């Protein structure tokens, strides 16, 4: 693996996609990658043997996870509900 590769951490179930920003050597002489999140603002590090290089279909599967889709759907419903409540309150205030 090298800097610029798109990877995920095996130890975390490949839950977040990262780009390798830098490869360093830790105090035990092992290579460690400094990682920057692709979809999330996160910086992490991981030993190179914990990383798996991601291919386009794998990246899509992680980024468009069904759980994330469900959360976004619920969030949209909450926003619509909030807007309807605000509209109702405004209409009631006009009647007074």
Statement to judge: residues 38 and 57 lie in one domain: yes
The pLDDT score that the predictor gives to residue 33 is: 97
Residue 75 pLDDT:
80
What is the reported pLDDT for 64? 67
**CATH code for the domain of 41:** 2.30.30.140
The reply to whether 3 and 46 lie within a common domain is yes
Beta bridge partners of 9: 51
Return the H-helix or E-strand segment holding 62: helix 56-63
Range of the domain at 5: 1-64
Other beta carbons within 10 Å of 89: 10
Q: What is the pLDDT along the chain (96 residues), one digit of tens a residue?
A: 999 999 999 999 888 889 999 999 999 999 999 999 988 889 999 999 999 998 877 777 777 665 666 777 778 888 888 888 888 788 888 765
Whole-prediction pTM: 0.63
d(CA 49, CA 15): 17
- Give the model's pLDDT for residue 67: 65
């Amino acid at each position: 693996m090298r800097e610029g590769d798109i990877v995920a951490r095996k130890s975390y179930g490949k839950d977040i996609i990262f780009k390798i920003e830098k490869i360093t050597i830790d105090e035990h002489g092992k290579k460690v990658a400094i990682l920057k999140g692709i979809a999330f603002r996160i910086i992490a590090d991981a030993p190179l043997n914990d990383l798996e290089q991601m291919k386009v279909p794998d990246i899509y599967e992680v980024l468009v996870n069904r759980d994330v889709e469900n959360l976004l759907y619920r969030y949209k419903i909450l926003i619509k509900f909030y807007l309807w409540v605000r509209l109702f309150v405004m209409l009631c205030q006009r009647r007074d």
